[in-house]
Amino acid sequence: MIDYAGKRVLVTGGASGIGAALARALTLRGAAVVVADVQAEAADEVADSIEGEAIACDLTDPEAPARLIEDAARGGPLALVCSNAGAGRNKRLLKENDEDAARTFALNYSAGLKLAQAYAATLASGVRGRMLFTASENSLSAPAAVKGFGLGTYAASKHALLAAAEWLRDEAAAQLDVHLLLPGPVYTPLVAKNLPDPAQAPAGFHLIMPERCADIALRGMDLGLFYIPTHRHIADDMQPRLRGVADAIAQLGLD
């Protein structure tokens, strides 16, 4: 089990949902948590509840990630950065527009990469850091449960984050332990808008609460896992892509 006692940790998107659950779970392990979010009042409330610190920031600003790392590290070196801030997007691709798509990518992809760059630059020689990126089950597949929801841009941004994290794991192996959280359905404020009562979720949706997601994330890091899925069905949802590639190889007669 990773020892966070007395260590500083940054959680972006920490004002609600998975981020708030991560902040609370890390606090229970003794971490001094910095809660960062564009929702300043909500971030303050979470930080107050865990005796942590809050920083208001909009990570769609290209300069914000570096400033955030600098501000969060003023109280001491960061043992873990949870790049969790993200935004959903429901828009069919044939109706998508450049401005909104760019904003989605700025938060869901670029902000995480910029946080990693800034964080790595703060690490003293010989000191390892740890990064947890929150991606999505949509990084890996188009789950049947959400087809028709217009998640193309969202899925593309999270797939880009997955690819970047895979490359970062290799490129920054001497400096960073990199982990990729792959949540399936989690009862976040985004889901709550359309489902006020989580008990009413369809059984096949396999909805879990943010606290369960945070527990899985921490256990995954304890085990040194790179991929940290939250649901068993995530592997099943990937099979059509794998079968499609295998079938194409067979039809093309490739050795």
Cβ count near 122 (within 10 Å): 16
Q: What is the 3-state secondary structure (H, E, C) of 131-176?
A: EEEECCHHHCCCCHHHCCCCCHHHHHHHHHHHHHHHHHHHHCCCCE
Q: Has 154 been annotated as catalytic?
A: yes
Alpha carbon distance 218, 11 (integer Å): 13
Q: Which residue has the tokens 């708030």?
A: 20
Given 4, 119, 154, 187, the catalytic residue: 154
Alpha carbon distance 51, 30 (integer Å): 11
**Beta-bridge partner residues of 208:** 186
Cβ count near 160 (within 10 Å): 18
SS3 229: strand
SS3 58: coil
Q: 112, 163 in Cβ contact below 8 A?
A: no
Q: 127, 67 in Cβ contact below 8 A?
A: no
Catalytic residues: 154
